Amino acid sequence: MDENRIISSINELPVLPEVVLHINELLKKSASSIDEVADLIEKDSALSSKVLRLANSSYYGLSSQVDSVSRAIIVLGFNNVCNVVTSIGVSAIFKENYKGIGIDLSGLWIHTLGCAVASKVLMSLKNDSESEKAFICGILHDIGKIIIAKTLPSEQKKVFDALKKSNKTISELENEIIGTDHAKVGFAIAKKWRFPDYILDVIRFHHIPHLSKEASDITVSVHLGNAIAKALSLGISTDPKVAIIAPDLWKQIGIDEKKIHSVISAIQNEFDLAMEFWMEI
């Protein structure tokens, strides 16, 4: 079954809050104002209080109190706040109670967070202004696994069983058993949710980063971030094998062997801070 048939066969797609879809629309227009986005977020009081809690948490470590969404946008930045809102929306999908689902969603959420934090730290070394983009791509990278878990649970179980006995990658086994893989399914759902092109590209190519055209550095950061999250056992991926990393990928984002140790401890520290906030949300 191909990814578009999977998406159209699903009765109830996991829902992203309407506000996230609206923000995706606003971000595509170049002239959206702070007030426009702040108004949209403030219409949802639970969401705006979560945004303020995060802005005031030790994760950002700001010196002054942030007491309104528009202030959060000024202090943290427009894209940053939009990414926070999206991450809050996506986290809800991982917390829903799906009947008969065969994956550990809370373990996968922690893996997702670990990958997002690692991708952000890695991307900040290459180009700090793009590091929040890497975070949101990390948050969305494995979303296709949830869609497959909802639509084809028995086929997905066959993939996991085969993974234990085989040297093939999860994508190879998904393609053999299901006819598509979680990266392509994730791409298709993110397209339906009207996410920008760079996010679609990263989801699609997070296991084959050399094919990414649109956002190569972010895709490489997420590919490496995914491997680091697994290597540090941050959460539970449905595919615990750590991919062998091609040396040129470390080079692409400017990490040499001597730096790896300090980068890994920066990731672990940032992950511990992120957990404090995100596990309560």
Structure tokens at 275: 């957990």
Handedness of CA 158, 163, 168, 174 (dihedral sign): positive
CB of 207 to Fe ion, least distance (A): 6
- Stretch touching Fe ion by CB under 5 A, among 10-18, 63-71, 149-157, 237-245: 237-245
CB of 189 to Fe ion, least distance (A): 14
d(CA 100, CA 143): 18
d(CA 38, CA 139): 22
CB of 115 to Fe ion, least distance (A): 5
Residue closer to Fe ion, measured from CB, 151 or 226: 226
Max intra-chain CA distance, the chain? 54
Structure tokens at 217: 């550095």
| 3 contacts Fe ion (rule: CB under 5 A) | no
| 226 contacts Fe ion (rule: CB under 5 A) | yes
| 221 contacts Fe ion (rule: CB under 5 A) | no
| 83 contacts Fe ion (rule: CB under 5 A) | no
- Stretch touching Fe ion by CB under 5 A, among 48-56, 156-164, 225-233, 272-280: 225-233
Q: Among residues 3, 130, 132, 142, which is the contact residue for Fe ion, using CB under 5 A?
A: 142
Residue type for position 60: Y
Q: Would you tell me how many other CB atoms lie within 10 Å of the CB of residue 77?
A: 13
- Stretch touching Fe ion by CB under 5 A, among 47-55, 211-219, 231-239, 273-281: 231-239
Residue closer to Fe ion, measured from CB, 27 or 118: 118
- Stretch touching Fe ion by CB under 5 A, among 11-19, 30-38, 91-99, 224-232: 224-232
Site string for Fe ion, 88-107 (x = CB under 5 A): --------------------
Render 53-95 in DSSP notation, one character per residue.
HHHTSTTT--SS---SHHHHHHHH-HHHHHHHHHHHHHHHHHH
CB of 23 to Fe ion, least distance (A): 24
Residue with tokens 């540090």: 232
| 171 contacts Fe ion (rule: CB under 5 A) | no
| 181 contacts Fe ion (rule: CB under 5 A) | no
CB of 226 to Fe ion, least distance (A): 4
C-beta of residue 50 within 8 angstroms of C-beta of residue 89: no
Residue closer to Fe ion, measured from CB, 187 or 250: 187
Binding site for Fe ion (CB under 5 A): 142, 226, 237
